[in-house]
Amino acid sequence: MRRLWLVVVWLLTALAVALAAGQNISHKNALEPVAKVELIVPTDVVVGVCVLKAGTYIVMCDREVVSFTLKSTGEKMLTASCDGPVMNDRAKETKAVYATQPSGYIVMEKLYLKGNNVEHIF
């Protein structure tokens, strides 16, 4: 009986770990609204593994990827996977959250796109 109890506890633990892994920050959410906004990047910033130069960008999220296109040239500068937790409400405005690293680099940590309900994390 004790061995059966240990097996049940082990299975429940494995199930809990599997469920937690499935609830990571990636979403691929079919209910996420597509967003296309203009974002002014005030200074050179690191976004994921790319450095975006200061300028105005058209940012588009198509539920799977977020792309940054330089408005002045139409050149796509970055495409990143659309990762982040789903928020309860849609963002009322476009807002980027920056952090300065000890090395001096400025990093875009989060991005909220007007009309979109995902907190994009880079």
pLDDT tens digits for 32-89? 778 899 999 999 999 988 999 999 999 999 888 899 999 999 999 999 988 888 888 9
The token duo for 88 is 């309860």
Q: Where are the domains of the chain?
A: 35-121
pTM of the model: 0.72
Average pLDDT, the chain: 82
H or E element in which residue 69 lies: strand 65-70
User: 120, 113 in Cβ contact below 8 A?
Assistant: yes
Q: Tell me the C-alpha distance between 36 and 15, whole Å.
A: 38
The token duo for 113 is 């796109």
